[in-house]
Amino acid sequence: MASETIRLKEVLDTVFDCSETKIASNIVAGTGKIKNTTFHILGTIEDTTFGVDEALEMAKHLLNILKVKDKSPILLLVDVTGQKLAKRDEWLGMYAYFAHLLKCLHLARKQGNKLISLVYNQAIGGSFIAFGMMADRIYALAHAKLAVMWLEGMAKVTKIDIDVLRKISETSPIFAPGVENFKKLGGLHEVLTLDKVPAQLLKTLEEDSIDLDNRAELGEQYGGRTKAYEIIRAIESL
């Protein structure tokens, strides 16, 4: 897997013709323009470990967007190394804060804001689920690292020998970390190079079906999940 990383500033400078952002509690927030289209910018700075403070900071900005009834699309920038392993965050009930953030994102969608996430370096575990996977469209740069859990972690949890897991991962994207395997599962809509992101964002806004969750269908289309969409259709036809 490529070890290349990219700085947040380069992402902002390449994606937007102009942008204005501020950073607090590892969260970048502001606005940017591509041609004549304004985007809200909200996400994490490089190598963020995501916890209570980060979730509250993001939720605060979303509530402000809701308060002023601004329906501009929201670009969620993702670079998270995992959830914060701190007693304080655990004792405070970190997942309740994550749920609060997810509810705010849901309200933004209901208001009419289109949600698009871009993984620009890495997205690991629950910290990705906390906001990046909530988007209507999920993109990642080609060098990005994605995993719900690395094979070493899977081995500890499942008690399956890591060599067995490595063998399985050669043919099953479910067990294989990486951006292309995540796409095969339908977890990503597209893998992009940075220079292609601006055009893709504008194209996404023109889609009529952006608010429909088509990830199970993508998993079937890309060959990583061959039964999920079939089962969903069978249940819907009952």
204 closest CA partner among 155, 139, 148: 139
pLDDT tens digits in sequence order for the chain, 238 residues long: 345 889 999 999 999 999 999 999 999 999 999 999 999 999 999 999 999 999 999 999 999 999 999 999 999 999 999 888 889 999 999 999 999 999 999 999 999 999 999 999 999 877 888 898 899 999 999 999 987 776 777 778 888 888 888 887 777 776 667 788 888 888 899 999 999 999 999 999 999 878 788 888 998 998 888 889 999 999 999 9
- CA nearest neighbour of 39 among 6, 72, 12: 72
In a domain, 114, yes or no: yes
Residue 185 lies in a domain: yes
User: 222 lies in a domain?
Assistant: no
Question: Structural domain of residue 91, as residue ranges?
Answer: 8-212
Residue 238 located in a structural domain: no
The whole-angstrom separation of Cα 29 and Cα 21 is: 5
Is residue 237 one of the residues assigned to a domain?
no
CA-based R_g, the chain, Å: 18
**Residue 205 counted as domain residue:** yes
Domain with 193 in it: what CATH number? Answer: 3.90.226.10
Judge whether 95 and 149 are in contact, CB under 8 Å: no
Q: Strands, E, within 51-173: which ranges?
A: 74-83, 115-124, 137-141, 145-147
80 in any annotated domain: yes
Q: How many domains does the chain have?
A: 1
Tell me if 204 sits within 8 A of 172, measured CB to CB.
no
Tell me how crowded residue 136 is: count the other CB atoms within 10 A of its CB.
Answer: 21
**Full-model pTM:** 0.89
Q: Which residues have a Cβ under 8 Å from the Cβ of 41 and sit 6 or more positions away?
A: 12, 16, 19, 21, 28, 29, 30, 31, 32, 75, 77
Residue 235 lies in a domain: no
Tokens of 207: 């889609």
